[in-house]
Amino acid sequence: MKKVIYPKVGGPESIQIVEHTLDDLASNQVKVRVHRAGINFADLMMRQGLYGSNPNFPFTPGYEVSGEVMEYGEHVNWIKKGQRVIAMTGFGGYSEEVIVDAKRIVPIPDSISYDQAAAMPVTYGTAYHMLIHLGGLKPGDSVLIHHAAGGVGTAAAQICQAFGAGLIIGTASKPKKEFVESLGMYFVDKDQDDFVEVCKNLTEGKGVHQAIDPVAGKHLMRSYNALRNGGKLHCFGASSAVPNERRSMIAAFNMWRNTPKFNPMDMMTSNKSVFGVHMGRMDDEAIFENHLSDLGKLMEQGKIKPIIDSVWRFDEVAEAQRYIHNRKNKGKVLLDFSPNKD
């Protein structure tokens, strides 16, 4: 079977596809024939050696796949061959076949396609964790979403709608204005407008209840300033360290140097909170399992529906990643590993 590897730090052209034989299946494991693998921004950061928690090179990226069960170990008794499932691979998802612990497998309801299933776990899991689990979003609340047209951004907007948020402000580049507005967000041009001012203006000077910031650097303090008294900021990424497809140590250093150190006394006097969120480093797997279960119900009720930008055959993986670096995507980008190109 074939899989994608990152042989070393590099641009998209460094990515290779290699033949590989999987290890034998352990008694608690499941082998899945992959149909779709989700591409996440973290995969691009890992390729540039700027992620911090990936395996040593060479390795295969890919947190999440959808596919069908090929085989399962003798201690797995709730699954069938051919069953459609999501597998949370941790790493290694960019592959025709994967082996994962049965605890990391979730069945896919009939009404949900392989595309939607692979597009859901990381983006919706992260947005749900921030806005609902940590943030306790209430009907009428105001929320600021950056990268509003991207994978997590579109998921966050739908979750806000599903939970009755009053005002959703989304920042993105200008070509995405109509798309962002079509998701019920107030569009802010990230290159032209001052999002802090917009947040204050639209909330009678108070600021928003929650802001989710995947940019870091100086941007993070601006998101903090956009909060009202009692507001919550989620720091969950560092996209400013990755301005394009080539690694820039200057950009990475600037992100690190300019990311604010929050003062607990200032936070106390304004009742503001700052959460750090890294789903890949969550120790308590039950939290994520609960999120997936809640999200599965919302999906079946039609309250959320992943927006798929595009599906690329796996040998186009370099182009698919370039497409994200070039800020073309509106929603989730997937890789197609299916045997029949379905």
Ligand X SMILES: NC(=O)c1ccc[n+]([C@@H]2O[C@H](COP(=O)([O-])OP(=O)(O)OC[C@H]3O[C@@H](n4cnc5c(N)ncnc54)[C@H](OP(=O)(O)O)[C@@H]3O)[C@@H](O)[C@H]2O)c1
User: What are the DSSP E strand ranges found in the chain?
Assistant: 2-5, 16-19, 29-39, 64-72, 84-88, 97-101, 105-107, 142-145, 167-172, 186-189, 208-213, 227-235, 273-276, 308-313, 332-336
Stretch in the footprint of ligand X (CB under 6 A) among 15-23, 95-103, 225-233, 325-333: 325-333
Burial bucket for residue 161 (CB in 10 Å: 0-12, 13-18, 19+): middle
Of the candidates 274, 278, 253, the one whose C-alpha atom is nearest the C-alpha of residue 264 is 274
307 binds ligand X (CB under 6 A): no
The residue (of 104 and 190) whose beta carbon lies closer to ligand X is 190
304 binds ligand X (CB under 6 A): no
Residue 71: helix, strand or coil by DSSP? Answer: strand
What is the Cα–Cα distance from 297 to 340, expressed in whole angstroms? 29
**Residue 27 Cβ, how far from ligand X at the closest point, in Å?**
31
Given 76, 137, 145, 172, the residue binding ligand X (CB under 6 A): 172
The residue (of 92 and 150) whose beta carbon lies closer to ligand X is 150
217 binds ligand X (CB under 6 A): no
Distance from CA of residue 17 to its chain's centroid?
A: 24
Q: Contacts with ligand X in 231-290 (CB under 6 A)?
A: 236-237, 239, 242-243, 277-280
What is the Cα–Cα distance from 303 to 233, expressed in whole angstroms? 25
What is the Cα–Cα distance from 105 to 33, expressed in whole angstroms? 13
Given 54, 95, 126, 158, the residue binding ligand X (CB under 6 A): 126
150 binds ligand X (CB under 6 A): yes
**Residue 236 Cβ, how far from ligand X at the closest point, in Å?**
4
The residue (of 73 and 214) whose beta carbon lies closer to ligand X is 214
151 binds ligand X (CB under 6 A): yes
CB 33 within 8 A of CB 96: yes
176 binds ligand X (CB under 6 A): yes
183 binds ligand X (CB under 6 A): no
130 binds ligand X (CB under 6 A): no
Size of the site for ligand X (CB under 6 A): 30
**Residue 4 Cβ, how far from ligand X at the closest point, in Å?**
17
What is the Cα–Cα distance from 36 to 13, expressed in whole angstroms? 22
The H or E element spanning position 324 is helix 317-325
Report the residue number whose CB is nearest to ligand X. 150
The residue (of 40 and 142) whose beta carbon lies closer to ligand X is 40
62 binds ligand X (CB under 6 A): no
**Residue 295 Cβ, how far from ligand X at the closest point, in Å?**
14
119 binds ligand X (CB under 6 A): no
Of the candidates 106, 95, 78, the one whose C-alpha atom is nearest the C-alpha of residue 23 is 95
89 binds ligand X (CB under 6 A): no
CB 133 within 8 A of CB 282: no
CB atoms within 10 A of CB 74: 9
Residues that bind ligand X (CB under 6 A): 40-42, 122-123, 126, 147, 149-153, 172-173, 176, 190, 214, 236-237, 239, 242-243, 277-280, 324-325, 327, 329
